[in-house]
A and B are shown apart, each in its own frame.
Chain A
Amino acid sequence: MLHLVNRSPFEERTIDACLRVAAPGSAVLLYEDGVYAGVRGTGVAGRLEAAAREMRVCVLEEDLAARGLQDAALVPGVHRVDYDGFVELAIEYDSVTTWR
C-alpha cells in the first residue's frame, strides 16, 4: 500500500498514526506540508529513519522546492520523487490511502 501524508508533523499527528500502521514493504509519500517530516534534524526524524529501514519513504520534490527546502538534507534513507515518481508509486502499489 502507498500511504500519503500531507500534514506537517508540527501541526497534526498524521505521520505518527501512519507509521504505526504502515506495514513493512509498503511506501509512504510525504507531500504538501508533509514534506517537513522528511527534513533532517526535526523531532520526528528518528521515527522516520527507523521507518525508512522497513519501507520506502519518499518526499515530493516540488513541494520541498515550494517551501525553499530543495537543498535541505533529508532524513537518511528518505528518497526524493517528482510528480512522475508519484504516479509511478501509485501504479506500483495496489492501493493508495491518504492520512488526515
Chain B
Amino acid sequence: MVSEGPAQRQSAESAYHFAQAALAKGHEVIRVFFYHDGVHVGARASTPPQDERNIGAQWSALAAEQGLDLVVCVAAAARRGVLDEEAGRRLDQAPAPGSLLPGFRAAGLGQLIESGIDADRLIVF
C-alpha cells in the first residue's frame, strides 16, 4: 500500500523498488493499493518536468510489464480531484478511469481488505 504523496514523500518510490526486488526474487505482488495522498501517483494529469523522475509513469510501465493490479482508492481520489467529475459524483459505480494513468483503476477499500486477507504480507509504504 502506498499511503503518502509523490510530491512530498518517497513512499511511491520505496514501494516501487521493493516491488521490483520482490518480483525479481520470484514473489507475487497481487495488488498495489494507493491510498490517502498516494492516489496522486495514478493521476494522468500529473506532469512533472521532463528531466525529473515520473513515478506514476514508472508504475504504469511496471504494471504493463508484470501485469500488476494498481488500485487507487476511489473515495480518496475523488476527494483530491484525481478522479474525473463523473466518477467523483457516482462513487458507488465503477468509475471510468479517464483521469488515471494506464494500468491504474479506481476501487473501494474492500480491495485493500481483500489483499490483506489473500497476501502473505501487507506492507504499508
- List residues of chain A with CB under 8 Å of any chain B CB: 4, 6, 31-33, 62-63, 83-84, 86-87, 90-91, 95-98
Contact = CB atoms under 8 A, between A and B. Distances in A.
Nearest to A85: B21
A4 B27 CA distance: 20
A86 B10 contact: no
Nearest to A86: B18
B64 interface: no
Interface string B5-32: 0000111001001101110110100000
B122 interface: yes
Contact of A86 (B21, B24, B122, B124): B21
Interface of B: 9-11, 14, 17-18, 20-22, 24-25, 27, 121-125
B124 A84 contact: no
A87 B17 contact: no
A contact face: mostly helix, strand, loop, or mixed:
helix
Question: Which of B20, B22, B24 has the most A CB atoms < 10 Å from its CB?
Answer: B22
Given A6-B125, A87-B21, 9 more contacts: A4-B123, A32-B11, A62-B17, A83-B17, A83-B21, A84-B21, A96-B123, A98-B123, A98-B124
Q: Would you list the 9 A-B pairs with minimal beta carbon distance, nearest first?
A: A83-B21, A98-B124, A32-B10, A87-B21, A87-B22, A96-B123, A83-B17, A90-B121, A84-B21
A57 to B, nearest CB: 18
A27 to B, nearest CB: 13
Given A6-B14, A31-B14, A32-B14, A83 B20 contact: yes
Contacts of A31: 14
Contact of A87 (B10, B14, B25): B25
Given A6-B10, A32-B10, A83 B18 contact: yes
